[in-house]
Amino acid sequence: MRTIKRCLKFMILGLSVLAGTAYAEWQALPDTAPAPKDNPTTPEKVELGKMLYFDKRLSQTGTVSCQSCHNVMEGGDDSRPTSVGVGAQFGPRNAPTVFNSAFHAAQFWDGRAASLEEQAKGPVTNPVEMGMSDTSVAVERIRQLDGYASYFNAAFGTDEITFDRIAQAIAAYERTLITPDTPYDRFVKGDGEALTARQQRGMKTFAAVGCQACHSGANFSGQMDPGAPLTLQKFPVFASSRFVEEYGLMEDQGRFKSTGKEADKHMWKVPTLRNIALTAPYFHNGKVNTLEEAVRVMGSTQLNRDLSDQQVADIAAFLGSLTGKGLKQTMPQLPPTPGGMLSNSQ
């Protein structure tokens, strides 16, 4: 009797997946991203944030903006192993996509920033990213650009320019960089034809082998509520995997680098899988070039499974259904630079 019940349950589950019926485990992305109470998303703030996001003058040399490493005209990242900052210096970690970052409970690979507002502040004074000596220098730079005052006034009610406001505006813009309505989202909302047969197979395999243990929820990044206690995951779990040495996956000690706590060694935030087909190369060090290999690595290092070629291809096809359409955006118009602001000495 129990076996019959089980079989029945499995058949219903199978049919509902094939028919594209939504059920609890598979969630579509909301059409809007949540904003913190003290920084509501308004059109004026988003417009200002877009300007600042594209403004290279927020970097010491005037050569690096948020957009430089998180290219919203492509996959929201910079398509390279690790990012290039001021003075052609390389950073230590791969740039995550900005798309749907609003649905992450925490920011940065190690989750060390609790919000997009906090994250936006980090790179400005990082010596190998935007290289400003101090946040006050960045604020002063923006204050010297006459054209900005009216935009701050429209966004915040007064024309005062502060580092907090700069970060708030950028975060508000980033909350609009979301990509709902992917084939996956349409499928879980009931459009059974939104996914190919292979993608549907991959979806089932994705769940069956255990990927959802971490990559759960609408953003495939586990917890989405910034209020909840941060949940990190160990990567790699199986340090004996042959991929660990091949791709140097334990060279970076993860959150340990920012906390110094032994328990944080090799602990990482669960990154979103949305748009992952657009954001090669993969992992925190950007050493894995293809999505198929990334799936294989995850199977081995996290689940201790040698996924078959068929499983890998199916899962990769499914992950391709998480690719959003490119956002239609207008280009911002930035205030002009006074002569002498940007020098040619670094």
At 226, give phi and psi (nearest 5°): -60, -20
Say how far apart CA 200 and CA 191 lie, in whole Å: 12
Residues with catalytic function: 129
The binder of a second copy chosen from 241, 279, 301, 302 (CB under 8 A): 279
Residues numbered 314-333 forming contacts with a second copy, rule: CB under 8 A: 326-333
Residue indicated by tokens 């669960």: 270
Nearest to 84 by CA among 61, 118, 101: 61
x/- site string to a second copy, residues 286 to 305, per CB under 8 A?
A: x-xxx---------------
The binder of a second copy chosen from 88, 193, 262, 263 (CB under 8 A): 88
Say how far apart CA 234 and CA 214 lie, in whole Å: 10
Applying CB under 8 A, the site for a second copy has a residue count of 51
Residue indicated by tokens 């791709």: 247
Judged on CB neighbours under 10 Å (0-12, 13-18, 19+), 66 is buried
Residues 143, 144, 150, 155, Cα dihedral to 10°: -30
Q: Which is nearer to a second copy, 239 or 341 (CB)?
A: 341
Nearest approach, Cβ of 36 to a second copy (angstroms)?
27
Q: Which is nearer to a second copy, 13 or 277 (CB)?
A: 277
Nearest approach, Cβ of 191 to a second copy (angstroms)?
24
Q: Which is nearer to a second copy, 30 or 332 (CB)?
A: 332
Nearest approach, Cβ of 67 to a second copy (angstroms)?
10
Q: Which is nearer to a second copy, 188 or 278 (CB)?
A: 278
Query: CA-based Rg of the chain, rounded to a whole angstrom?
Result: 22
Nearest approach, Cβ of 320 to a second copy (angstroms)?
11
**Cβ proximity of 94 and 248 under 8 Å:** no
Say how far apart CA 97 and CA 325 lie, in whole Å: 14
81 is a site residue for a second copy (CB under 8 A): yes
**Cβ proximity of 120 and 177 under 8 Å:** no
150 is a site residue for a second copy (CB under 8 A): no
Binding site for a second copy (CB under 8 A): 54, 57, 61-63, 68, 71-75, 78-82, 84, 86-88, 90, 277-282, 286, 288-290, 326-344, 346
